Every structure is written in C-alpha cells, then in structure tokens.
Amino acid sequence: MKKLSLLLLIAALSVMTACSSTNKADTAETNTTSNETKEANTAEATSKVYSLENDGVDQALFTEALSQFPTTVPERIVTTSVPLTEMLQILGITPVGVPTSKNPIPAEFDAVERIGSPMAPDLEVVTKLKPDLLLGAESLRSSLDKSMEGMKLDKAYLSTESFDDLKLSLKVLGTYFKKTDEMNATLTKILEKENELAKLAEGKKAPSVMLVIGTSDSFMVMSEKSYLGSLVKKVNADNIATSVLKVTDTYSPINMENVVAADPDIILVLASGDHGASKDMFEKEVAKNSTWTKLSAYKNDKVHILDYSVFGVTSILNAENALTEISKYFYE
C-alpha cells in the first residue's frame, strides 16, 4: 500500500513538473510574440518617417510614369495641365506653351503662349509652337489623344489628382530633366510637413469626417480619391466615405440615412461659387433637409466651409499650406 502511495505521489509530481514547464514555455512564447509585435509596430512607425530616401512615392508607379518619356530630353515642351505647369516652374524649365485656365499660372510664365483648354488645346497654336513633347494630366489622356490624333508628337501623361500624385509627378519630372536639386528642395519641405502632422496625430484618436462638395443642384460626398480626401488621409482622419459608407467613386450621392448612422465628428464642405456650391447654398440645403441638424457635427458646431482655391485645386505650390490648414480642423 505504501509502495502504491509512493508511486502515485511520484506520478503527481511528474505531472505538475510537466505542466509547470508547459506554462513557462507558453509564457515565453507569448512574451516573444508580444515583443515581436512591438518590434513590428516600432518598425512600422519608423517607416512612416519620411525623408528623401523614404518619400512615400510608389516605386512601381514612378518607374512606369518615367518610362513614357523619350530617350532624348526635349527642348520644346507644351503642357496642358496647370499643376504640371507649376512643377516645370519649380524645376526651372520654361515651356513654349501652357494651358488657358481660370486657375492661376505661375507669373514667371506670363509671356508664354496660351494653347487653349487643358482637355482640347488649339491644334493650330500647338503646331505653330513646334513642340517635341506634350505634357498632360493622366485623367485627360483619352481626350487629349483624341484631340491630338494625327499629330506626330511625343506625349507623356502624369497623375495630378491627389496629394501623393503631386509628389510622384514632381519626382518623375525632376528625375527625367535632371533637376534633382530643385526637386528635392520642394519635396523636403512637403515631407517635413507630413512628418510634422504625423507627430501631431500621435496618441490621438482619429476623428471621423465627412467631405462634401456641391454642384449647381445637389451635394455629394467625397472619397479619399479626391484631392481633399487625400489631404484628410494625411492627417490620419477617418473619412466615413471610405470606412463606413464604402463608396468606390471619387464623388457619390449623399444617402442621409447612412450618414446619420455614421454620424461623423466633423463635416467639411468644399464651397465654390464658380462650381455652384456656395456657403449660402449649403445653408439652404440644411434648411430644406432637417436631417443635417441631427448630426453630431452640426450640433457641436463642427461643420466647416472650406476655400475651394486651397482645397479644391491640386497644386504642388500650395500643398504644404493645404496640409497645414487642414490639420487645424482636427488637432488644434
């Protein structure tokens, strides 16, 4: 009987020892996983610190865009895009033709020939200028190809729709034309501003926001594909168009029932009399549809009317200022 008791005791101790070893192993594994997660988070945070070596530009898109340009660097350039015209000015490159536009062209190019609409330039004027490269916006590629059909002319198209598009296109042009000093001077300021905003957002809960733009007869919600949406993304705010409403287009009709359910903290309204949406028009919209007054943003006086000239027009010259201004609505 004593031998049996002794055997049972030994068996019990063995089981306890085994369990203890297992628990220690589990604890060690958990600690290792936790440390690995912390290291991964630290690495991710570090990767978000922008510099000229880590500028956030998609390398594949950069290479693809650069591959469009002719091997021989052209001397006579016409551009149909205001944002790209600004970039040429920054790089110290004077084109022989620039677009006719309501949006401001750099004063340095006041004497440069106007070639007409960004979508359909005047072929007679373009032909007279004898360009060896046409530089246009990617969003208008099909329209420009059609309007310039039959004309022997190298063309290159660059994206200018979002904040990241502007960085990409400036880097492409600066690299191709070997204007890296001028390019880096502008990129450095923008990257420093991005880092400043990331630091400002550290440890703070990202507020939710709805971006609204008006037409002559209605208002629409904007996704992060819009220029304003891309700026909001940079300040780490939660755009409900993407996170809650799940819209896929740049501009989508507003479904107020879904908006009430999302209940954004902030509403930013892009107003422009030229585009049919003034501050007065939005106030009339609210008076017409009382659902707006049920939103927390409305109750807390967090509905802000934005200047279209700052937030509605993509501009590399104004990008730093636009980031500064947009951050005030979220973190000040």
Residue 171 CA to its chain's centroid (Å): 16
* Residue 103 neighbours by CB distance under 10 Å: 15
pLDDT of residue 4: 38
Per residue in 244-259, pLDDT tens? 999 999 999 999 999 9
The 10s digit of each residue's pLDDT in 144-177 is: 999 888 788 999 999 999 999 999 999 999 999 9
**Residue at 273 is within a domain:** yes
- Predicted local distance difference test score (pLDDT) of residue 19: 41
Q: For 46-55, 87-96, 206-215, which range has the lowest pLDDT when averaged over its residues?
A: 46-55
pLDDT the model gives residue 205: 85
CA distance 170 to 163: 11
Do 212 and 316 reside in the same domain of the chain? yes
pLDDT at 3 over 50: no
Please, which pLDDT band fits residue 6 given cuts at 50, 70 and 90? very low
Place of tokens 């279209």: 308
Same domain, yes or no: 82 and 142:
yes
pLDDT band for 320, please (50, 70, 90 cuts). Answer: very high
Average pLDDT for residues 53-82, to the nearest whole number? 96
Query: 115-129, 193-207, 262-276, 313-327: which has the minimum mean pLDDT?
Result: 262-276
The pLDDT value recorded for residue 31 is: 40
Say yes or no: 219 and 321 in one domain.
yes
CA dist., res. 160 & res. 171, Å (int): 12
Which tens digits make up the pLDDT trace of 234-247? 988 999 999 999 99
With respect to residue 21, please indicate whether it lies within any of the assigned structural domains: no
| pLDDT of 327 strictly over 80 | yes
How far apart are the C-alpha atoms of 283 and 269, rounded to whole Å? 11
Residue 22 placed within a domain: no
Q: How far apart are the first and last CA of the chain?
A: 80
Report the mean per-residue pLDDT for the chain: 84
pLDDT at 280 over 80: no
Express each pLDDT in 122-133 by its tens digit.
Answer: 999 999 999 999
**Within a domain: 194:** no
* C-beta separation of 125 from 97 below 8 A: yes
Dihedral angle, C-alpha 296, 298, 302, 304, nearest 10 °? 140
Flag whether 326 is in a domain.
yes
Residues 104 and 220 reside in one and the same domain: no
Same domain, 147 and 231: no
* 24 has a pLDDT exceeding 60: no
pLDDT score recorded for residue 203: 84
The total number of structural domains in the chain stands at 2
Q: Across residues 279-289, what is the average pLDDT? A: 83
State the amino acid at position 205 in one-letter form.
K
- CA nearest 318: which of 108, 77, 104? 104
Residue 154, class by beta-carbon neighbours within 10 Å (0-12 exposed, 13-18 middle, 19+ buried)?
A: middle
pLDDT band at 278 (very low <50, low <70, confident <90, very high): low
User: 155 with 255, same domain?
Assistant: no
Q: Are residues 321 and 209 in the same domain?
A: yes
The pTM is what?
A: 0.82
Query: Which residues span the domain enclosing 321?
Result: 205-331
The CATH number of residue 275's host domain is 3.40.50.1980
pLDDT of residue 23 exceeding 90, the answer is no
Residues 168 and 248 in one domain: no
pLDDT above 50 (res 224) = yes
Q: What is the pLDDT of residue 1?
A: 43
